[in-house]
Structure 1
Amino acid sequence: MQSENPIISDFVKLANAAAGTFAGMTREARDGARERLKESLGGLDFVSREEFEAVKQMAATAREKQDILEAKLAALEAKLAGK
């Protein structure tokens, strides 16, 4: 059998109200922080993964072509030096 003590009942109500208020404050703080982060990052220009991978591939191809041209140049210089 449960007794109805008004002091305990009031304390439980107060604790529940405080927990609800704290949960609301936590939610508000999290949402506010998320909005501030979005605003601060909004001015930055980010590239997509696809764009990054495309430019990375272009750079690798250009590097390979450069290596080939350097080898050809070295061969031509060696040929000219041998004459």
Structure 2
Amino acid sequence: MTQTNNRIFDEFAKLMTDAAGVAQGVRDEAENAIRAQLERFMGDMDLVTRDEFEAVKAMAIAARDENEALAARIAVLEEKLGISADKPQSDTDEPTSAI
């Protein structure tokens, strides 16, 4: 009787091992299918890569720095010319024509 019990347990263990292998295979196939769907979905969204994002970010920082430098230069020039940055310059220098 001991031999029969061991054989039943051995067959059951083999069956469970095979079932675990099949389950792992199904899991791998499901992961691959989901990964492929997500890659296709993200490809359709036309997302930028990290490198592209970093390049545009660096360009924006450089443009902002240049803008600040130009604004400072304009302020210095306006100060030298006596122009107030708060109010626009009027066109009173031009003669008016009488019709």
* TM-score normalized with structure 2 length: 0.61
* Bigger helix fraction: 1
Give the 4+ runs in structure 1 shifted more than 6 A. none
1:4-26 superposed Cα distances (whole Å, 9 cap, x missing partner): 54322331232122112211111
Q: Which residue does 2:49 correspond to in 1?
A: 47
Q: Which residue does 1:63 correspond to in 2?
A: 64
Taking the aligned partners of 1:72 and 1:6, their CA distance within structure 2 comes to 92
1:48: how far off?
5.0
RMSD of aligned Cα (Å) = 2.4
Unaligned regions of 5+ residues in structure 1, if any? none
* TM-score normalized with structure 1 length: 0.70
Task: State the number of aligned residues.
Answer: 80
Taking the aligned partners of 2:15 and 2:72, their CA distance within structure 1 comes to 81
Q: Which residue does 2:11 correspond to in 1?
A: 10
Give secondary structure in 1 for the equivalent of 2:82.
helix
Q: Which residue does 2:25 correspond to in 1?
A: 24
Taking the aligned partners of 2:19 and 2:26, their CA distance within structure 1 comes to 10
Distance change (3 Å), C-alpha of 1:65 and 1:8: closer
Taking the aligned partners of 2:54 and 2:10, their CA distance within structure 1 comes to 63
